[in-house]
Amino acid sequence: MSALRMQGVGFTYPGAPAPALSDCSFAAEAGQVTWLTGALGAGTSTALLVAAGLAPRHTGGDRTGVVRTLGEDPALPASRAALGGRVALVLSSPATQLSGIAETVAQEVAFAPANLGWPRARIRSRVADAMDAVQIAHLADRDPGTLSGGEMQRAVIAAMLVLEPELWLLDEPTSALDAAGRALIHDMMRREATRGAAVVIASEDADGLLPVAGRLIVFASGRPAIDGTPRAILAGDQVWRAGAASTAIAGLARAAGVVAPYPLTVDDGVARWTR
Amino acid sequence: MNARLLALLPAAIAINLVIGGLVNAMGLPLYLDSIGTILATVLAGPAVGILAGVIGQVLFGLINGYQWIPFGLIQVVIALLAGVAASQAGFRSVGRSIAWGLLTGVAAGALSSIISYVLFKGVTATGTTAVVTVLRQLGLSLPVAVTASSLTLDLADKAVAFLVVGSLVRSLPNRMVGRFPRAARAIGR
Amino acid sequence: MTPVSRAAAGRLHPFTPLVLTVCVAVLAVAAPGPQTAAALYGVTLLAVAAAGVGRAALRALVPLAPLWLFLFLLHAILGEGDQVAVLGLSLSRDGLALAVTQACRLGAIATASLALYASFSPARFVDAVAERGWSFSWAYLVVATLLALPRFRARAVAILEAQRSRGLRLRGSLLNRVRAVGPVTFPLLLGALAEVDERGFALESRCASGVTRRTPLDPPRDSLGDRVGRWLAGALAVAAVLWRVLR
């Protein structure tokens, strides 16, 4: 069973003239990092909200088609209890994702497990592990509101990591981070996939995700247009035609008039042009 | 309570508590301590507006003294009237917003004068008290003076508050208003 | 929040100052005359100083001073009936008694509540509510709002400054200032609304809705002294109300 499966899904926001998703079908598997990309408005963010059940529960609007998140239809009210704590959602702006009642980072990370009623000893040890995993243990006693954007996003990710979720839904999670922060989060995602979680990430960071993602789905007009391995897709021309971007080196090669397949990394380029 | 309310209410309550201070800093003789209540009502209904108003008043009492908590009753009346206004497309235009604001001001002013007379022996917020003192000097009886002073202030205050909320909701993009069906009705969309 | 947790008030169970201050308010309303009201204000001042939050008593004077002044004007100077001479002023005897009673009532109430606010620890309050198994939503609303206030205030000040530097006239005629209400409040309101959606998403995925039994992370100690104090204060308040009603 796929961790996330969509079949013929349509979604329209209330008052919107056009659907954000239409006839959208794809699946994401446990143990793999599935990377979604596309032009602005292609539907990747909406796909994540639909998978989490927040669309339409929070956003309003109409959803059609079949969605199965860890085997449940996330739009049904009954699924909230069944999925609670098993699906992690991370958005791009960390400040709005803070709990709002934590005075320290440790309390912030403990927010969800405490809400779920975990025993105190388990909360304490899992919180310490989660803060270690994203290297914020030294910030444990800081007021989360005073952290830098990058530190705050790592605290938000730790606050999800603490739950050991089965499905990660990340929407541009590294846009507030510097290169070191991005590498840390990408590494964490790889470890989560190895642990057995399904990781679905919407991102434009081709250079960062190329070595991490096992699969790339390029969205166009509210549905997957290209689906395959990142290397195969990014080296071609299709991804550019879909309005998405490949790696910096591929962009450079394309701009310089090189014929596809494009080199994707510095190493690729060196190998190709020193042959 | 669902997560959407848990996110909306602290924002609405903080708006009630902060904008009052803001207009104070601008030297305006208005309270504007009910914008969050009215906004919450327009977006999510009078029950949510009442919650925002009452919790806001209790927290205001915690910060500034419990003596202000009884005035939370006024917030309930404001939320109820704003709820009626919203269901009648009362925020559709500037004129309608002001009219509903004035109507709410009459109710709020009357209630506020009753509360301040019974519980506070005629003394209310400092601005009103000064007016009361002057009116007393002019020979008006205490209950009349209290009512007259808080009524004028409340009329202006609620008219401005309804006007602000109406203009705000009308300026929101369709996509956002669409998420709040009640708000769409309030502005007649 | 104010760092007073180290003071004596910060060592009490979070519900103890809450119950005590509410009881002070009830006793103040029930106080029949100037002597009892003044005695209650005096006891409140001593208790607040002993609890290490004496500054609250001073901070309470800011809103109290004008109230006291107007009470004095309204009732003692403008009051009717028998006149007494105090410091060369001719004052109404009943009005003076009423003004002193009300001034001391308000003094006790304001001092008690500001002392509670000064000693309030959001995290301990949430833990105390969680330990009792009471509704998490209510505790969340109270604490999330209190912690959001400084952020909103800072944003309000920033907006005021920004609009002023863009040439918005915040001084001048009343009409000018009323016109400035929109440009000053709109950015604050729009910013708050923009955040609501994402915070709702985050709270839902962090299991904040439908919490049935939250784990207190560091449950505050509820000592025998705390419990006895709360029961005594409650009994005193109930007795005072009964006495006032039945008398």
Q: How long a stretch of residues is chain C? A: 247
C90-147 pLDDT, tens per residue? 888 888 888 899 899 999 999 999 999 998 999 999 999 999 999 999 999 999 999 9
Question: Residue A88's beta-bridge partner residues?
Answer: A168
Q: Closest Cα partner for A159 from A131, A188, A120?
A: A131
Please say whether the dihedral angle defined by the alpha carbons of residues C103, C106, C111 and C112, taken in this order, is positive or negative.
positive
Between CA B95 and CA A260 the distance in angstroms is 64
Between CA C142 and CA C134 the distance in angstroms is 14
Q: Return the pLDDT at C47.
A: 93
- Buried b / exposed e over C43-80, threshold 16 CB at 10 Å, is ebbebbeebbbbbbbebbeebbeebbbbbbbbbbeebe
Q: Return the pLDDT at A209.
A: 94
Residue at token pair 């500001």: C114
Residue B31 has pLDDT above 70, yes or no: yes
Q: Return the pLDDT at A12.
A: 94
The minimal CB distance from B175 to the residues A13, A58, A100 is found for A13
Average pLDDT, chain A: 93
Residue B108 has pLDDT above 50, yes or no: yes
Q: Helix %, strand %, coil % for chain B, to 5?
A: 80, 0, 20
**A58 at B interface, C-beta within 8 A:** yes
Most confidently modeled range among A163-172, B102-111, C10-19: A163-172
Residue B123 has pLDDT above 70, yes or no: no
**A145 at B interface, C-beta within 8 A:** no
**A122 at C interface, C-beta within 8 A:** no
Contact list in C for residue A145 (CB cut-off 8 A) is 147, 151
Contact list in C for residue A101 (CB cut-off 8 A) is 122-123, 126, 140, 143-144, 147
Mean pLDDT of the region B122-136: 58
The lowest-confidence range among A234-238, B125-129, B176-180, C20-24 is B125-129
Give the closest-approach CA distance of B4 to chain A in angstroms: 7
Contact list in B for residue C141 (CB cut-off 8 A) is 6, 9-10, 13, 51, 55
Neighbours of C228 (CB within 10 A): 11
Q: Return the pLDDT at C91.
A: 83
Residue C100: is it exposed, middle or buried by C-beta count within 10 angstroms (0-12/13-18/19+)?
A: buried
Cis omega (within 30 of 0) on the bond before C34? no
With a CB cutoff of 8 Å and minimum separation 6, the contacts of A273 are none
Best mutation target, A59, A87, A91, A96, to test chain B (most B CBs within 10 A): A59
Q: Are A204 and A176 in contact (CB under 8 A)?
A: no
Residue B134 has pLDDT above 70, yes or no: no
The angle formed by the CA atoms of residues A53, A213 and A232, to the nearest 5 degrees, is 120
Q: Return the pLDDT at B1.
A: 81
Q: How confident is the model at residue C20 (pLDDT cuts 50, 70, 90)?
A: very high
Compute the radius of gyration of chain A from its Cα atoms: 19
Neighbouring chains of C at 3+ CB pairs under 8 Å are A, B
Give the closest-approach CA distance of B2 to chain A in angstroms: 10
More confident residue, A2 or B141: A2
Most confidently modeled range among A2-6, B27-31, B64-68: A2-6
Q: Are A134 and A154 in contact (CB under 8 A)?
A: yes
Between CA C177 and CA A206 the distance in angstroms is 51
Between CA C77 and CA A146 the distance in angstroms is 52
Residue A31: is it exposed, middle or buried by C-beta count within 10 angstroms (0-12/13-18/19+)?
A: middle
Mean pLDDT of the region A182-211: 94
Q: How long a stretch of residues is chain A? A: 275
Strands A4-12 and A21-28: antiparallel
Q: Return the pLDDT at B126.
A: 44
Residue of C nearest to A103 (CA): C123
Complex ipTM, two decimals? 0.91
Contact list in C for residue A87 (CB cut-off 8 A) is 205
Strands A223-228 and A167-171: unpaired
With a CB cutoff of 8 Å and minimum separation 6, the contacts of C88 are none
Q: Closest Cα partner for B38 from B77, B66, B64, B88?
A: B77
Q: Return the pLDDT at C212.
A: 84
Mean pLDDT of the region A59-76: 94
Q: Closest Cα partner for C192 from C145, C141, C139, C137?
A: C145
Between CA A79 and CA A74 the distance in angstroms is 6
Cβ–Cβ of A16/B3 closer than 8 Å?
Answer: no
Between CA C22 and CA C40 the distance in angstroms is 13
Interface of C with B in 164-183 (CB under 8 A): 170-171, 174, 177-178, 180-182
Helices and strands in chain A, H and E counts: 12, 9
Q: Return the pLDDT at C3.
A: 45
C222-234 pLDDT, tens per residue? 999 999 999 999 9
Mean pLDDT of the region C55-83: 82
Residue C88 has pLDDT above 80, yes or no: no
Q: Closest Cα partner for B180 from B52, B15, B44?
A: B44
Task: Give the neighbor-by-neighbor strand order of the sheet with A223-228.
Answer: A87-90, A167-171, A198-202, A33-38, A215-220, A223-228
Q: How confident is the model at residue B130 (pLDDT cuts 50, 70, 90)?
A: low
- Buried b / exposed e over B109-140, threshold 16 CB at 10 Å, is bbbbbbbbbeebbbbbbebbbbbbbebbeeeb
Q: Return the pLDDT at C64.
A: 84
Contact list in C for residue A103 (CB cut-off 8 A) is 1, 122-123, 147
Give the closest-approach CA distance of B134 to chain C in angstroms: 10
Residue at token pair 């008690």: C112
Contact list in C for residue B32 (CB cut-off 8 A) is 181, 185
The angle formed by the CA atoms of residues B114, B120 and B122, to the nearest 5 degrees, is 65
Neighbours of A179 (CB within 10 A): 10
The residue type of A210 is: L
The angle formed by the CA atoms of residues C127, C131 and C134, to the nearest 5 degrees, is 95
How many CA atoms does the CB half-sphere of C180 hold within 13 Å? 27
Q: Return the pLDDT at C169.
A: 74
Cis omega (within 30 of 0) on the bond before A56? yes
Q: Where are the alpha helices (DSSP H) in chain A?
A: 44-52, 54-57, 79-83, 105-115, 120-133, 149-161, 179-195, 206-209, 230-234, 238-241, 248-255, 266-273
Average pLDDT, chain B: 86
Residue B128 has pLDDT above 60, yes or no: no
Best mutation target, C44, C77, C141, to test chain B (most B CBs within 10 A): C141
Q: How confident is the model at residue C200 (pLDDT cuts 50, 70, 90)?
A: very high
The residue type of B86 is: A
**B10 at C interface, C-beta within 8 A:** yes
Average pLDDT, chain C: 88
Residue of A nearest to C213 (CA): A117
Q: How confident is the model at residue B125 (pLDDT cuts 50, 70, 90)?
A: very low
CA B152 vs. chain centroid, Å, equals 14
Q: Return the pLDDT at B124.
A: 52
Residue A239: is it exposed, middle or buried by C-beta count within 10 angstroms (0-12/13-18/19+)?
A: buried
The three-class DSSP label of residue A215 is strand
Between CA A18 and CA A16 the distance in angstroms is 6
Cβ–Cβ of B13/C197 closer than 8 Å?
Answer: no
> Which tokens sit at C13?
């169970």
Percent of chain A at pLDDT above 70?
100
- Buried b / exposed e over A180-212, threshold 16 CB at 10 Å, is ebbebbbebbbebbeeebbbbbbbbbbbbbbeb
Between CA A195 and CA B91 the distance in angstroms is 54
